Amino acid sequence: MQVLRDIDELREWRADTGFDALRVGFVPTMGNLHAGHMALIEHARRRSESVIVSIFVNPLQFEDPDDLARYPRTEERDLEQLERAGVAAVFLPTEAVLYPHGQDDLVRVDAGPLGERLEGAARPGHFTGVATVVTKLFNLVRPDVAVFGEKDAQQVAVIRRLVTDLDFPVELAIEPTHREPDGLAISSRNRFLSDEQRRQAPAVHRALKRAAESLAGGHTVAATLAGARHWLGQQGFEVDYLAYVDDARFEEQHRLVKHGRLVVAARLGEVRLIDNLAVHSPSPAMHESER
């Protein structure tokens, strides 16, 4: 496995190894790798001949400097895991490598209205940061297929639009959310949960499942969401948002749609958890009227 820390190294390695002749899979990460990341890498291996993983804690995605400073860095352990996973190369740039002129003097990729809704409203500038770094990484790595996790569903929607609108010749593959046995979505941030919070945390996923059952039972979207918010509050959560949206634009919907999704962000103390669950209209008739 080759560890590449600057752009020239990456380009020289590609040229020297004949990498461009292969079908390349790419998994961008911010490190602190866990079972969910390993599933993304395995997905990339199935769809390609050789896999590159990037590790970069992107400062453009963080509104709060303390949150950026607190994000776990586990480079040595990450590299050991990637070596065992059979990754061909790891791109490990610093901020100075990717943003040599600094953050203030930087051409950014605007994520558009999609990037301003829900998670984008809660974290202003976050999706512009995502779109900017993914654009740079796609330009540098030039993958045939890139794999992302369904847990970050709005990020997936942003990247789909990025690929479409900027004409990247990249196939996107989406890996289903990986969960702990109790349903909690696996996340690098779970390590910040106290023992008591960890016992409470699976309620986020349970709230989505309860809401999906409510919708399937004929309750309105408005009543279902109100009930789910109230229930999460009773479990000790502060809800940032809980909504039912269409998968493509992430606009809030008031009736079931063909490609719909429940999305939630909720806090337990200082720890913010996100999750989502696909919930589609069971019949074409329901696209037109409220049940």
On whether both 113 and 230 belong to a single domain, the answer is no
We report the CATH number of the domain holding residue 43 as 3.40.50.620
Total count of domains within the chain: 2
On whether both 163 and 31 belong to a single domain, the answer is yes
Give the pLDDT score at 284. 52
On whether both 69 and 148 belong to a single domain, the answer is yes
On whether both 14 and 80 belong to a single domain, the answer is yes
What is the Cα–Cα distance from 257 to 245, expressed in whole angstroms? 8
User: Which of residues 175, 209, 235 is at a domain's end?
Assistant: 175
Residue 291 has pLDDT above 80, yes or no: no
Give the pLDDT score at 283. 61
Neighbouring CB atoms inside 10 A of 18's CB total 8
Say if 289 falls within a structural domain.
no
On whether both 164 and 22 belong to a single domain, the answer is yes
Say if 288 falls within a structural domain.
no
For residue 155, give its domain range. 2-175
User: Which of residues 175, 200, 233 is at a domain's end?
Assistant: 175
Our answer to whether residue 126 is catalytic in this structure is: no
Residues 6+ apart with CB under 8 A from 233: 239
On whether both 82 and 222 belong to a single domain, the answer is no
On whether both 82 and 125 belong to a single domain, the answer is yes
* pTM, 2 dp: 0.93
On whether both 50 and 119 belong to a single domain, the answer is yes
On whether both 90 and 229 belong to a single domain, the answer is no
On whether both 20 and 102 belong to a single domain, the answer is yes
Q: What angle do CA 64, 68, 74 make, to 5 degrees?
A: 165
On whether both 139 and 223 belong to a single domain, the answer is no
Out of 37, 43, 126, 178, the active site residue is 37
Question: What is the edge-to-edge ordering of all strands in the sheet holding 238-246?
Answer: 238-246, 260-268, 271-278
On whether both 164 and 193 belong to a single domain, the answer is no
Say if 102 falls within a structural domain.
yes
Question: What is the edge-to-edge ordering of all strands in the sheet holding 24-29?
Answer: 2-4, 89-91, 50-55, 24-29, 145-149, 171-175
Residue 262 has pLDDT above 60, yes or no: yes
pLDDT digits (tens, 9 = 90+) for 49-94: 999 999 999 999 998 888 888 888 999 999 999 999 999 999 999 9
We report the CATH number of the domain holding residue 232 as 3.30.1300.10
Say if 180 falls within a structural domain.
no
pLDDT digits (tens, 9 = 90+) for 201-246: 999 999 999 999 999 999 999 999 999 999 999 999 999 999 999 9
Give the pLDDT score at 285. 46
What is the Cα–Cα distance from 230 to 83, expressed in whole angstroms? 46
